[in-house]
């Protein structure tokens, strides 16, 4: 089964990706992991990507596409894969489809973990992390017993820069701009499925399993 995982930052894609990967015995492929692996192994593609990243530049579409194609051509993807973080644009989606068609393969499901923007915003901006032991909290859903202090070690808990209101808003704006056209694209390809990501983790996975089981 070849699956693309879609959903806003903070929707729980990472958690669900691990569960799907284990359930269906397919590799979970995140673009971040592929880039890091290629750079670590000093592959030709990895070194090209590193050149852009070292300058603080985005890796161009075509190079990203080549790195993903190289990864899904490996033996462990013969029975399927779960792509997380790719494609990010319709151009990337079209390139992926073309690559798969040439291999007489296709995407079976573009799975959208759907969470309203307001809920994502509250989830992410409410997160707090311990400065010493790294324990994570949430001001609403999992608050510390003593305000501002870690339950485990007593050190201060802080909001990461990535979880500031301004940063979260920008990340969600970027996601909306990039992903809405992708949702339309996969809907037109008749492979888009959606689950309610506001539910408990186990209920979300149960819904995902039901959706994928019907394919």
| CATH assignment at residue 206 | 3.40.50.300
> In which band, very low, low, confident or very high, does the pLDDT at 181 lie, cut at 50, 70 and 90?
very high
Is residue 211's pLDDT more than 90? yes
156: which residues sit within 8 A by CB, 6+ positions away? 130, 131, 148, 149, 150
> In which band, very low, low, confident or very high, does the pLDDT at 93 lie, cut at 50, 70 and 90?
very high
Q: How many whole angstroms separate alpha carbon 110 and alpha carbon 189?
A: 10
Least confident of 55-64, 94-103, 136-145: 55-64
Q: How far is CA 117 from CA 8, 9, 173, in A?
A: 8, 10, 10
Number of domains in the chain: 1
**Alpha carbon 93 to its chain's center:** 15
- Give the mean pLDDT of the chain: 94
* Residue 64 belongs to some domain of the structure: yes
- % of residues, the chain, pLDDT over 70: 100
Q: How far is CA 155 from CA 130, 136, 142, in A?
A: 6, 12, 16
Q: Is 50 a catalytic residue?
A: no
Q: Is 127 a catalytic residue?
A: yes
Q: Is 171 a catalytic residue?
A: yes
Q: How many whole angstroms separate alpha carbon 56 and alpha carbon 135?
A: 30
Is residue 47's pLDDT more than 90? yes
Q: Which domain range does residue 196 map to? A: 2-117+168-213
Least confident of 20-29, 169-178, 205-214: 169-178
> In which band, very low, low, confident or very high, does the pLDDT at 59 lie, cut at 50, 70 and 90?
confident
* Residue 139 belongs to some domain of the structure: no
Q: How many whole angstroms separate alpha carbon 89 and alpha carbon 123?
A: 25
Q: Is 160 a catalytic residue?
A: yes
Among 13, 71, 128, 193, the one annotated catalytic:
13
pLDDT at 121: 95
């Amino acid at each position: 089964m070849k699956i693309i995982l879609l959903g806003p930052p903070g929707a729980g894609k990472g958690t669900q990706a691990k569960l799907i990967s284990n359930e269906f015995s397919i590799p979970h492929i995140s673009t971040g992991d592929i880039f890091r692996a290629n750079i670590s192994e000093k592959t030709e593609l990895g070194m090209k990507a590193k050149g852009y990243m070292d300058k603080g530049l985005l890796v161009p579409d075509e190079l990203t596409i080549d790195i993903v194609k190289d990864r899904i051509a490996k033996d462990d993807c013969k029975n399927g894969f779960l792509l997380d973080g790719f494609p990010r644009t319709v151009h990337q989606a079209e390139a992926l489809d073309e690559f798969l068609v040439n291999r007489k393969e296709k995407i079976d499901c573009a799975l959208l973990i759907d969470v309203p923007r307001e809920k994502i915003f509250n989830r992410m901006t409410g997160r707090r992390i311990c400065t010493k032991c790294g324990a994570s909290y949430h001001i609403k859903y999992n608050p510390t017993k003593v305000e501002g202090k870690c339950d485990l070690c007593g050190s201060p808990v802080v909001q990461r820069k990535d979880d500031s209101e301004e940063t979260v808003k920008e990340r969600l704006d970027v996601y909306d701009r990039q992903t809405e056209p992708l949702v339309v694209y996969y809907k037109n390809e008749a492979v888009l499925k959606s689950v309610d990501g506001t539910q408990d983790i186990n209920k979300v996975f149960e819904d995902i399993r039901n959706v994928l089981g019907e394919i």
